[in-house]
A = this chain, B = another copy of it.
Amino acid sequence: MTTIRDVAKLAGVSVATVSRILNNKNNVTEKTRQKVEQAIKQTNYSPNQVARNLYKKRSKMIGIIVPYLENSFYAEIIDGIQKILQPAGYTALISFGAESDNDKYKQFIQNFEQNNIDGIITSAFDISLDNTITVPLVMYDSANIDDNIVRIASDNISGGKSCVELLGNNTRHVLIQHMSLSLPTVRERIEATIKELNHRKINYTLMEVGNPRISDDAKKAISFSPNYDAIITVNDLYAAEILKIANERNISVPQDIQIVGYDNNPISSYTNPAISTVDQHPEEIGETAANRLLKLIRGDTSSMNSITPITKIKRQSTN
């Protein structure tokens, strides 16, 4: 590998001069600049970032943590992040598979810190136990919790309410399928759903999902369907699975049972009937998170949360 020393030797100058030119500190003669640029081209030199990082104590890399990659929700968030960060000259180090495992989050963050990462954008986890993090950090897919963390929360209140608004007027009894209520985001949304159901005097039943395979949770939900006229699902992947099973069992959607999804996953528009859902605009979430992180990195340490808007999408799986 060719180093700055090789370039300097070839150009007949010191390494300091080469460095200055590389970093556009423009206190150099045009003549030396030309010599050096010539030498750089000739040797096909490109500077070693690792050495730079060591000195500068920053890496122009940011770490991103997502629970898993398969859900396009997260893929779109990452896209949104990159849209902002790439033009700003940052490279992304992506860790995934954290799921809901707090230890994995911590492990990923430690790895980031060891690599002199400039900042972290992570999905929500219970950070309360860990006050050793010194790098700028933004949390997305979070509940709107008031602490010293910058949190990007989707408007879960409206989202939870929208799930009810998507249902037909004659709805009497709703099954609410949900992830663990120990997750603040889930609680925020489900509480809003329940509040709206109460407001409309609609009965409901809660059913927590817990199986590793979505299809098992879907079967469980559908097997109770005669008792309900609607299922508010965890998200579109669960909704699609439930719909598939309903189709197999000749249960008509929405006549026999209505199904509400969440996330406006591409899948939701391709099913038959298409699934009524709530779009969280993940790309916007990503952009918001990235912009907040850039602010933090630049020294604006205010920790106000951001709430990103949702959109209700009515399709054919509800009356």
Segment of A40-48, A162-170, A223-231, A295-303 engaged in the interface with chain B: A40-48
- Binary B-proximity of A4-26 (CB < 8 A = 1, otherwise 0): 00000000000000000000000
List the B side residues contacting A47 at CB < 8 Å. 114
**Contact of B132 with A115 in the complex, beta carbons under 8 Å:** no
- Binary B-proximity of A35-72 (CB < 8 A = 1, otherwise 0): 00000000010111111011000010100000001101
List the B side residues contacting A92 at CB < 8 Å. 93-95
Nearest residue (CB) in B for A132 is B44
**Contact of B48 with A51 in the complex, beta carbons under 8 Å:** no
**Contact of A76 with B70 in the complex, beta carbons under 8 Å:** yes
Asked if A204 is at the interface (CB within 8 A of a chain B CB), the reply is no
Segment of A146-154, A184-192, A269-277 engaged in the interface with chain B: A269-277
Segment of A194-202, A239-247, A306-314 engaged in the interface with chain B: A239-247
List the B side residues contacting A139 at CB < 8 Å. none
List the B side residues contacting A54 at CB < 8 Å. 48, 50-51, 54
Asked if A266 is at the interface (CB within 8 A of a chain B CB), the reply is yes
> Least Cβ distance of A235 to chain B in Å?
13
Q: How many residues of A contact B (CB 8 A)?
A: 47
Contact of A72 among B72, B93, B97 (CB under 8 A): B72
> Least Cβ distance of A67 to chain B in Å?
12
Cα distance, A54 to B91, chains bound together (Å): 19
List the B side residues contacting A241 at CB < 8 Å. 270
Asked if A110 is at the interface (CB within 8 A of a chain B CB), the reply is yes
Contact of A70 among B50, B72, B113, B243 (CB under 8 A): B72
Asked if A183 is at the interface (CB within 8 A of a chain B CB), the reply is no
List the B side residues contacting A96 at CB < 8 Å. 78, 82
Asked if A127 is at the interface (CB within 8 A of a chain B CB), the reply is no
Cα distance, A241 to B79, chains bound together (Å): 22
Contact of A48 among B1, B94, B114, B244 (CB under 8 A): B114
Contact of A240 among B50, B72, B270 (CB under 8 A): B270
Nearest residue (CB) in B for A114 is B49
Contact of A50 among B46, B94, B115 (CB under 8 A): B115
List the B side residues contacting A271 at CB < 8 Å. 270-272
Besides A237-B266, A271-B271, 18 other CB < 8 A contacts? A44-B132, A46-B113, A46-B114, A47-B114, A48-B54, A48-B114, A49-B114, A50-B53, A50-B54, A61-B115, A69-B69, A78-B96, A91-B115, A92-B93, A240-B270, A243-B270, A244-B269, A266-B267
Give me 18 A-to-B residue pairs in the complex whose CB atoms sit less than 8 angstroms apart, sorted by A's number. Answer: A44-B132, A46-B113, A48-B54, A49-B116, A50-B54, A50-B59, A50-B115, A50-B116, A54-B54, A69-B69, A69-B75, A75-B75, A82-B96, A94-B94, A237-B266, A243-B270, A270-B271, A272-B272
